[in-house]
Amino acid sequence: MLKKYNNLIPLTLNALDMENEDLVHKVFEMFNEFAEIKKVLGPHLPIIIQKAIDISANTEYGNNLREVTMLFLELIAENYWRVLIKNHGTAFVDKVFEVGFKIASEDPSLYEGQEESPPQFAVSMVFTYCSCVHTEKVFPIAMKYL
């Protein structure tokens, strides 16, 4: 069963209709469920992470979709940061920080009256990377954006 999902991930991401937010949301909810199963997501992390970064940064998407992709990026920090750094250096961590700080800096008046907002999720995401990734790797990246 896992092998089928493994083969479907790149096909799904390439065929995903980005105009259909509900469908994209469901796909990333599924990715969140599979976050701890390294055999499923591991081979496709770069493409999934890039798609999550792009969606999270796009203010035209609904808050729920942006939040589920930021949650996915948090789960990546908790489960895959060693693999990412080993295979790709700190490039993905840097991209996550860049988009995280950009989202955290969005105008708070856009989210008045809401309990949770993308800027709050972005701060949580950055915090998770700071907590999970070794200090010598994450500190230089964080300092670029402070």
Given the structure tokens 């708070």, which residue do they identify? Answer: 108
Average pLDDT, the chain: 91
Q: How far apart are CA 145 and CA 129, in angstroms?
A: 14
Q: How far is CA 54 from CA 3, 71, 90, 132, 139, in A?
A: 27, 14, 18, 22, 23
Residue at 94: amino acid letter: D
- Residue 9 DSSP label: H
Is the pLDDT score of 144 beyond 80? Answer: yes
Q: What digits encode the pLDDT tens for the residues 57-109?
A: 999 999 999 999 999 999 999 999 999 999 999 999 999 999 999 999 999 89
Tell me if 94 sits within 8 A of 145, measured CB to CB.
no
Q: How far apart are CA 114 and CA 106, in angstroms?
A: 14
0.95 cut: is pTM over it? no
SS3 content of the chain, % helix, strand, coil (to 5): 80, 0, 20
Percent of the chain scoring above 70 in pLDDT: 96
The pLDDT score that the predictor gives to residue 38 is: 82
